[in-house]
Amino acid sequence: MSTNIKLQSNVAKSSILDKLKSQVKGADYSKLPAEPSYQYPQLSKEQQLAQFIGHLQANHAQVIQLEQAQIAETVSNELKDRGIKKLLYGTQAAHSAHMAELDADINTDISAEVFDFNLAGNKEKLFNDTPASITSSRAAIAATGSIVLWPTVTEPRSLSLVPPVHFVIVDAERLYATFATLIKEQQWQDKLPTNAILVSGPSKTADIQQTLAYGAHGPKELIVLLINS
Amino acid sequence: MAAQQLDPNESKYAASARNFRDNVKRDLGNQELRENFRGAMDYLVDKRKNAFPDGDELETLREQCKLIKQRCLLKLPHLLEQLEENLQANGIHVHWAETITDANDIIAQLIAAKNGKSVVKGKSMVSEETALNDYLEARDIECLESDMGEYIVQLAHQHPSHIIMPAIHQNKKQVADLFADNIDGFAHTTDVDALIGEGRRVLREKFCQADVGITGVNFAVAETGTLCLVENEGNGRMCTTVPDLHIAITGIEKVVEFLDDVPPLLSLLTRSATGQIISTYFNMISHPRQSGEKDGPEEVHLVLLDNGRSQAFADEELRQTLQCIRCGACMNHCPVYTRIGGHAYGTVYPGPIGKIVSPHMLGLEATNNLPTASSMCGACGEVCPVKIPIPKLLQRLRVESVKAKHNGEPVMKGEGSGRKSIEAAIWQVWSIMHKYAFIYKTSMWFATRLRKLMPNKIGVWTSVRTAPKLAPQTLHEKVQARQNQQQYKQLQGGK
């Protein structure tokens, strides 16, 4: 970084902070009014699950309830229905072995590939030659029908973003009532990943005459594989 | 410093804001434009209403979020330092800019350092504020808007007419014509899915090739050093994930203290803006690409822009302007915005929020018409998710605009620029009249008796209205006469 830019920024920083500080010097934080928070009705696990599914479906996501062992078969069927023969997945996830089996299964012509390459140098492939992907998720939020993605070294960020069809595995055991309770219970403030994302449906836009269209830039379809045992 | 040379640094929006009255005439006469806005605003008002079925919840959330933002503003300098420290600890670079030119210059230098030639942009009103696209294009850097609405507006060589839905002034036929004129091989259609599909095809190619992604920020979390982006399309994620360099730009007021502050603000933001309980994506960025990761930018930079915000901060009443979370509900509910549309204001931020924030960015000299463009109906203040008393601030800005010269520190750039000596003299007389009963009574007596001398034509007022007529007697006189009569009757009855 050039020294010019740094110098310029430092001058601006002290000027801005001086102006701001002179206005709130000696402010007594202990006198800040108490902030109210709304007490939402407590829902049972079943109600939360229904709420979660309802919101996702209202947002045009497809939700399939299944058991862990059925993942490969379900994915295979859904891909077949769409005429898709390629699937990209991450390594070392709970479902990775199932995907490897799917790839090896001689009864299907689906080729499942592992995302073990750097995006740089492989952008064309990911954008133009990867019709579907599958990822895991870290948690889910009932109140808004949101799925928390927590990309890692083995499940890169673009895996859930670039392919037009995104399968995401959600464990009903990890369903939280609200975003606020999730942050609190998992102590997010202590450690956040490079990129955490809440996803609540397929990519969409209403930018042309308020008409909703799906598949703006990201996935056109979000297929939620909800494991509920 | 550059900030003191007026001309080269003046935003292009200052000139268009000065033309406010002409802009209004132009746009009020455009039937298609008015239909587009009416339809869109009715839609958004309805969506918001349905998103808040529980009035108690809404009011509790509004109070909570107002207090969150007020706390964060009271601690602003401290939080900005904490934010910088934590972002740097996370590996994200932080830059500070006082003016729009400084911000643009920083960004241009960051791009040049990476030999960047093409930029994809996520939606950022702050980058509109700095007219970043013009600045970069003048330096041979291609800068493509990737939000569908922004992309349409850029193709049309316009700027957004709404802060959330930038192309709301265009209908699908206009968009189809625009695509036909600008995109090779586009088969003309007004089918929205096909139009979006076309935009998707063009823009995905660009995401794949771009060297740099530039976005705004909805919340910057001081506690964790996290940049949060709210979006539906996925273009924000593309811009922050695919190119090797990500530059975010935001105003200094977007910092929040705790991660816990985010959920209530997010909930109010999306519901107030588009009536969604949450946006499709909520993107939280805390690091550049870390060791072993296979994608994500190698470098992430944040540019913190002042551009008049510290001026608003310096006055406790005007500071409330900075509570804004840019949801756009105030414009959706504004009878003036709905009729004149977003471009008439001439500013980057239109509508009620634009009227109270633009004077700090562009100075009151260029914007002193804006605070007067209000019927004071109060709808903006009622729907504001963080309870900014917009009508009150409009009144305050009207006062600042006509303030007499004084020796103290100026409150605002351009204060007093709307002052007219004749208007000031009229109010001076008014004030004297109301101070002394004798003068008041005498002048009223003459005014009512000489009412026939009132002109029938009083400038713009009578262009659409009949001239007001003074009564033959003042109310005081009438009441007095009535009392006299009653006393007389009592006296008669008493006989």
Residues of chain A in contact with residue B203, where contact means CB-CB under 8 angstroms, are 217
For the stretch B87-109, pLDDT in tens is 999 999 999 999 999 999 999 99
The pLDDT, as a whole number, for residue A172 is 97
The pLDDT, as a whole number, for residue B2 is 38
Residues of chain B in contact with residue A38, where contact means CB-CB under 8 angstroms, are 56-57, 60-61, 64
Does residue A186 have a pLDDT over 50? Answer: yes
d(CA A155, CA A89): 8
The pLDDT, as a whole number, for residue B391 is 98
In this prediction, residue B494 has a pLDDT band, given cuts at 50, 70 and 90, of: low
Nearest to A201 among B166, B280, B304 (CB): B280
The pLDDT, as a whole number, for residue B7 is 54
d(CA A22, CA A34): 25
Are the CB atoms for B418 and B368 separated by under 8 Å? yes
The pLDDT, as a whole number, for residue B454 is 86
Are the CB atoms for B196 and A205 separated by under 8 Å? yes
The terminus-to-terminus CA distance of chain B in angstroms comes to 88
ipTM of the complex: 0.97
Residues of chain A in contact with residue B306, where contact means CB-CB under 8 angstroms, are 12, 16
Nearest to B148 among A119, A158, A205 (CB): A205
Q: Is B354 helix (H, G, I), strand (E, B) or coil?
A: helix
Average pLDDT in the A146-160 region? Answer: 97
Which tokens sit at B38?
A: 């009416």
For the stretch B368-410, pLDDT in tens is 999 999 999 999 999 999 999 999 999 999 999 999 999 999 9
Chain B residue with minimum CA distance to A34:
B67
Give the single-character DSSP code of B135.
Answer: H
In this prediction, residue B5 has a pLDDT band, given cuts at 50, 70 and 90, of: very low
| Start and end residues for every CATH 3.40.50.10420 domain found in chain B | 29-188+199-311
Q: Is B61 helix (H, G, I), strand (E, B) or coil?
A: helix
Question: How many residues comprise chain B?
Answer: 495
Element containing residue B114 per DSSP (H, E): none
Q: Are residues A157 and B296, on separate chains, in Cβ contact within 8 Å?
A: yes
The pLDDT, as a whole number, for residue B3 is 39
Least confident of A125-134, B359-368, B403-412: B403-412
Q: Are residues B60 and A37, on separate chains, in Cβ contact within 8 Å?
A: yes
The pLDDT, as a whole number, for residue B4 is 39
In this prediction, residue B9 has a pLDDT band, given cuts at 50, 70 and 90, of: low
Average pLDDT in the B201-224 region? Answer: 97
Q: Share the mean pLDDT of chain B.
A: 95
Nearest to A55 among B98, B146, B277 (CB): B277
Nearest to B113 among A1, A40, A213 (CB): A1
Least confident of A94-103, A188-197, B222-231: A94-103
Distance, in angstroms, between B475 CA and closest chain A CA?
A: 47
- The rounded percent of chain B whose pLDDT value lies above 70 is 98
d(CA B342, CA B358): 13
Q: Are residues A161 and B252, on separate chains, in Cβ contact within 8 Å?
A: no
In order, the DSSP letters of B82-104 are: HHHHHHHHTT-EEEEESSHHHHH
| Nearest alpha carbon to residue B164 among A207, A121, A14, A149 | A207
Residues of chain B in contact with residue A24, where contact means CB-CB under 8 angstroms, are 74-77
The pLDDT, as a whole number, for residue B464 is 87
Residues facing B248 on adjacent strands:
B215, B302
- Angle separating helix axes A3-24 and B100-113, nearest 10 degrees: 150
d(CA B283, CA B50): 25
- The rounded percent of chain A whose pLDDT value lies above 90 is 93
Chain A residue with minimum CA distance to B195:
A208
β-strands B299-305, B245-251: how paired?
parallel
Element containing residue A109 per DSSP (H, E): none
Does residue B349 have a pLDDT over 90? Answer: yes
More confident residue, A106 or B226: B226
For the stretch B42-78, pLDDT in tens is 999 999 999 999 999 999 999 999 999 999 999 999 9
Least confident of A95-104, A114-123, B244-253: A95-104
Q: Are residues B234 and A203, on separate chains, in Cβ contact within 8 Å?
A: yes
For the stretch B422-458, pLDDT in tens is 999 999 999 999 999 999 999 999 999 998 888 888 8
Residues of chain B in contact with residue A185, where contact means CB-CB under 8 angstroms, are none
Residues of chain B in contact with residue A180, where contact means CB-CB under 8 angstroms, are 260, 263-264
Average pLDDT in the B288-307 region? Answer: 98
Residue B31, C-beta contacts closer than 8 angstroms, at least 6 positions apart: none
Are the CB atoms for B353 and B337 separated by under 8 Å? no
Does residue B242 have a pLDDT over 80? Answer: yes
How many other CB atoms are found less than 10 A from the CB of residue B407?
Answer: 4
Mutate to test the interface with B, among A6, A10, A18, A20 (most CBs of B within 10 A): A20
More confident residue, B468 or B391: B391
In this prediction, residue B459 has a pLDDT band, given cuts at 50, 70 and 90, of: confident
Residues of chain B in contact with residue A56, where contact means CB-CB under 8 angstroms, are none
| Phi (first) and psi of residue B119, to 5 degrees | -120, 135
Alpha-helical segments (H) within B320-474 = 329-332, 335-340, 351-362, 364-367, 379-383, 390-401, 421-435, 437-449, 461-464
- Angle separating helix axes B76-89 and B55-74, nearest 10 degrees: 80
Nearest-5° Cα angle at A67, A62 to A70: 80
Residue B140, C-beta contacts closer than 8 angstroms, at least 6 positions apart: B117
Chain A residue with minimum CA distance to B99:
A12
Is A127's Cβ below 8 Å from some Cβ in B? yes
Element containing residue A97 per DSSP (H, E): helix A96-104
Chain A residue with minimum CA distance to B315:
A23
Nearest to B241 among A12, A143, A157 (CB): A157
| Nearest alpha carbon to residue A173 among A215, A202, A142, A207 | A142
- The rounded percent of chain A whose pLDDT value lies above 70 is 99
The pLDDT, as a whole number, for residue A4 is 84
Least confident of A22-36, B173-187, B288-302, B446-460: B446-460
- For chains A and B, what is the number of CB pairs under 8 angstroms? 274
d(CA A75, CA B101): 52
The pLDDT, as a whole number, for residue B1 is 35
In this prediction, residue B216 has a pLDDT band, given cuts at 50, 70 and 90, of: very high
Residues of chain A in contact with residue B166, where contact means CB-CB under 8 angstroms, are 207
Is A195's Cβ below 8 Å from some Cβ in B? yes
Are the CB atoms for B244 and B297 separated by under 8 Å? yes
Residues of chain B in contact with residue A204, where contact means CB-CB under 8 angstroms, are 232-233, 280
Distance, in angstroms, between A87 CA and closest chain B CA?
A: 18
Is A66's Cβ below 8 Å from some Cβ in B? no
Domain A63-137+149-174+200-227 has CATH 3.30.980: no
Mutate to test the interface with A, among B255, B281, B287 (most CBs of A within 10 A): B281
Average pLDDT in the B122-137 region? Answer: 96
Does residue B6 have a pLDDT over 50? Answer: no
Q: Are residues A197 and B237, on separate chains, in Cβ contact within 8 Å?
A: yes
The one-letter amino acid code at B324 reads C
Nearest-5° Cα angle at B416, B415 to B420: 155
Nearest to A210 among B40, B175, B226 (CB): B40
In this prediction, residue B11 has a pLDDT band, given cuts at 50, 70 and 90, of: confident
HSE of A100, CA atoms in CB hemisphere, 13 A = 10
Nearest to B313 among A1, A23, A152 (CB): A23
More confident residue, A1 or B104: B104
β-strands B212-215, B93-97: how paired?
unpaired
Average pLDDT in the A112-121 region? Answer: 95
Residues of chain B in contact with residue A211, where contact means CB-CB under 8 angstroms, are 172, 192
Q: What is the residue extent of each domain of chain A?
A: 63-137+149-174+200-227
The beta-carbon contacts of B346-350 under 8 Å, at least 24 apart in sequence, are B346/B13, B346/B15, B346/B16, B346/B17, B346/B18, B346/B19, B346/B20, B346/B23, B347/B13, B347/B16, B347/B17, B348/B11, B348/B13, B348/B125, B348/B128, B348/B129, B348/B159, B348/B160, B349/B125, B349/B129, B349/B163, B350/B161, B350/B162, B350/B163
Which tokens sit at B172?
A: 């699908």
Chain A residue with minimum CA distance to B302:
A9
The pLDDT, as a whole number, for residue A197 is 98
Q: Are residues B233 and A216, on separate chains, in Cβ contact within 8 Å?
A: yes
For the stretch B319-334, pLDDT in tens is 999 999 999 999 999 9
Q: What are the Cα distances from residue B80, in Å, to A17, B33, B123, B228, B297?
A: 8, 41, 23, 15, 23
In this prediction, residue A3 has a pLDDT band, given cuts at 50, 70 and 90, of: low
Residues facing A176 on adjacent strands:
A141
Helix, strand, coil percentages in chain A from 3-state DSSP, rounded to 5: 40, 20, 40
Taking a contact as any Cβ pair under 8 Å apart, which residues of chain A between 73 and 102 contact chain B? none
Are the CB atoms for A204 and B234 separated by under 8 Å? no
Which tokens sit at B170?
A: 């265009």
Q: Are residues A12 and B96, on separate chains, in Cβ contact within 8 Å?
A: yes
CATH superfamily of this structure's domain B29-188+199-311: NagB/RpiA/CoA transferase-like (3.40.50.10420)
Q: Are residues A209 and B171, on separate chains, in Cβ contact within 8 Å?
A: yes
Residue B464, C-beta contacts closer than 8 angstroms, at least 6 positions apart: none
